[in-house]
């Protein structure tokens, strides 16, 4: 297929596809799915080999959020029957993190619900970061605390944080339909604050909220321009008790096409298979490892994932290997840029390109045959609602039960 050959060539050169090419990936048929996965897999292996980075979530504070994000079980007015608790003590958070590290996680992600941290919250999280680093030598720590105020990113960096996560989630054009208590620009500003402080930026999306193909391409191109080091791809978990509980829009095949499109647009970035993979990819999860080079181990913030042991078996059975603590995740050119203080990524033209405008830049009018050889998309079918796969987390952080790691 001419389209896929073009996209592989661009991905190996770190060139940006055109919007038309990205849309064409989403429009491919299920008959072409394995060809799409194989093509994107070549790009993934070029920059990340067969390594899979494991990440582990610790929910520091669950529920009770004043924001109205429609997709979130912790939102204002949520009726989802999730765990609700206030801040974990640093020693309890460190104990939870240690379980993930023991299971093979290289990065621990510390998450807290809320609009954004107070200065006291930053102090609290800083102590937690210090406790985790003291107990687990070499572990990466990513904080995800919401919208940042001036100086807070610097304080987190000084405390030992390596990265900061704040997702764009959806396109700027539809953001107001998902959330009204803050803006899309607020999210962009927070990611840029983290970058300016020298933190590795982590920012991604949620697919399956009823968005169009154009919305998906918009947010991924916006991410490429923002240039985070890692891009988590979440698939909506339709929690009962949230406004999007009835949004079952994804098939395993569509989820794979979305991941492939992200890989083509962000070829040399850590693409992380995140929340909802068990719900929407189901038995096709191993195929996603050919597209994403990073996953979460075990459970998520408020929902349960598959057993950590099953994650490790899946990786081995698919012919991949867990990335070791002594291995640098990012390709050399990105790792060198980060080490050189390129925190703001000013002047970069997007996710991993770090080059001036050229073939494949935003100004490109279409290098190569856009959509050539792509089959007409098949008539959309309504996916089956698999509510049996949505399981509220009842173990790990905030409970007396052992975590899943």
Residue 359 marked in a binding site = no
Q: Do 329 and 270 touch, CB atoms closer than 8 A?
A: yes
- Residue 342 in marked binding region: no
CATH number for the domain running over 2-389: 3.20.20.70
72 is in an annotated binding site: yes
pLDDT per residue as tens digits for the range 2-27: 999 999 999 999 999 999 999 999 99
Q: What is the pLDDT averaged over residues 360-381? A: 41
Give the pLDDT of residue 21.
98
Task: Write the pLDDT tens digit of every residue in 38-78.
Answer: 999 999 999 999 999 999 999 999 888 888 898 888 887 77
pLDDT, tens digit, for every residue of 189-217? 999 999 999 999 999 999 999 999 999 99
Query: Look-up: residue for tokens 């490109």?
Result: 364
Q: How far apart are the first and last CA of the chain?
A: 41
Residues taking part in catalysis:
65, 69, 72, 109, 142, 202, 272
pLDDT recorded at residue 208: 96
Going by pLDDT thresholds of 50, 70 and 90, the confidence category of residue 163 is very high
What residues contact residue 86 under an 8 Å CB cut-off, 6+ apart?
A: 61, 64
142 labelled ligand-binding: yes
Is 65 labeled as ligand-binding?
A: yes
Domain-by-domain residue ranges, the chain? 2-389
Query: Is 351 a known ligand-binding residue?
Result: no
């Amino acid at each position: 297929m001419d389209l896929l050959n073009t996209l592989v060539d661009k991905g190996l050169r770190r060139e940006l596809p055109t919007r038309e090419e990205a849309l064409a990936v989403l429009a491919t048929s299920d008959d072409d799915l394995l060809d799409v996965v194989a093509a994107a897999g070549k790009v993934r292996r070029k920059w990340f080999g067969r390594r899979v980075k494991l990440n582990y979530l610790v929910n520091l504070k669950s529920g009770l959020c004043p924001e109205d994000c429609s997709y979130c079980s912790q939102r204002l007015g949520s009726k989802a029957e999730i765990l609700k608790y206030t801040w974990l003590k640093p020693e309890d958070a460190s104990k939870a993190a240690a379980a993930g590290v023991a299971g093979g996680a290289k990065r621990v992600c510390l998450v807290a619900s809320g609009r954004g941290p107070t200065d006291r919250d930053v102090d609290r999280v800083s102590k937690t970061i210090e406790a985790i680093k003291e107990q687990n030598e070499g572990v990466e720590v990513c904080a995800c605390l919401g919208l940042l105020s001036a100086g807070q990113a610097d304080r987190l960096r000084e405390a030992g944080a390596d990265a900061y996560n704040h997702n764009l989630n959806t396109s700027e054009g539809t953001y107001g339909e998902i959330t009204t208590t803050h803006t899309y620009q607020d999210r962009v500003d927070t990611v840029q604050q983290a970058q300016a402080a020298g933190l590795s930026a982590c920012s991604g999306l949620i697919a399956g909220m009823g968005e169009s193909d154009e919305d998906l391409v918009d947010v991924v191109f916006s991410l490429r321009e923002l240039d985070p080091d890692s891009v988590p791809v979440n698939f909506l978990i339709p929690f009962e008790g949230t406004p999007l509980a009835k949004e079952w829009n994804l098939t395993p095949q569509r989820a794979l096409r979305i991941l492939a499109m992200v890989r083509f647009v962000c070829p040399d970035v850590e693409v992380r298979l995140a929340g909802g993979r068990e719900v929407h990819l189901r038995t096709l999860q191993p195929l996603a490892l050919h597209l994403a080079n990073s996953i979460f181990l075990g459970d998520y913030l408020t929902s349960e994932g598959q057993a950590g042991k099953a994650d490790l078996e899946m990786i081995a059975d698919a012919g991949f290997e867990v990335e070791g603590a002594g291995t640098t995740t990012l390709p050399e050119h990105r790792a060198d840029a980060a080490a050189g203080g390129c925190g703001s990524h000013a002047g970069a033209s997007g996710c991993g390109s770090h080059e001036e405008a050229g073939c494949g830049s935003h100004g490109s009018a279409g290098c190569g045959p856009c959509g050539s050889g792509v089959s007409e998309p098949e008539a959309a079918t309504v996916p089956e609602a698999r509510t049996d796969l949505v399981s509220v987390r009842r173990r790990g952080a905030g409970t007396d039960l052992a975590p899943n790691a």
